[in-house]
Amino acid sequence: MREHSERKGHRAPEAELGDESLEDSENLPEPDVIAAEIVGNLEVALEQFGSIYQELEGGE
């Protein structure tokens, strides 16, 4: 999987590659905390893409 991903210029998340250090789930935050972080990151990214789009279209 790693070889295919790297050939395409992408790197697969370590969890997909079987990284043994990720097996210790006791140290992970609760799923709702992880989900909230992901949603927050996606919202910020969407705002940034919106700003870039407006700049490209000549707006502010």
pTM: 0.53
Q: What is the pLDDT of residue 20?
A: 64
The Cα–Cα gap between 32 and 38 comes to: 10
Which positions ≥6 away from 60 have C-beta within 8 Å? 54
Q: What is the pLDDT of residue 34?
A: 97
The Cα–Cα gap between 13 and 27 comes to: 18
Q: What is the mean pLDDT of residues 2-12?
A: 55
